[in-house]
Amino acid sequence: MIRQFAIAVMLSAFAFIATPAHSQAGAATYKAKCMMCHAADGSGNTPAGKSMAAIPFSSPAILRASDADLIAATTNGKGKMPAYKSQLTAPQIAGAIAYIHTLQK
């Protein structure tokens, strides 16, 4: 059942990421939930980011990660990053991921 939920989340997220306007919608989610650790520029250069060892979005590991990988890490947590599946909807997570891609340019 959990696997089916994860697949449904990822499929709906891919549909959401499809347009550039969604990255703008994801900016508010990013600012509310992600920026405190990952910083406004995605560098992870914040006190919380440093203490959690947040990986910069420009790192090769993050640049190689697929959207599905990033969505799964945000949804379920990874390493010191907490899970956001109970705090954010699948479209909000997908929007935040789309916004993160704007920080990588």
pLDDT at 105: 76
* CATH at 15: 1.10.760
pTM of the model: 0.77
The pLDDT value given to residue 22: 56
Looking at residue 7, its pLDDT comes to: 52
pLDDT at 21 (0 to 100): 58
| pLDDT for the residue numbered 25 | 80
CA distance 29 to 101: 14
User: Averaged in consecutive runs of 10 residues, what is the pLDDT profile of the chain (105 residues)?
Assistant: 54 51 80 96 97 95 95 96 96 95 88
Domain count across the chain? 1
The pLDDT, as a whole number, for residue 45 is: 97
Q: Which domain holds residue 60?
A: 2-103
CA distances (Å), origin 97, targets 1, 37, 72, 82: 24, 15, 11, 15
Q: In angstroms, rounded to a whole number, what is the distance separating the alpha carbons of residues 64 and 29?
A: 23
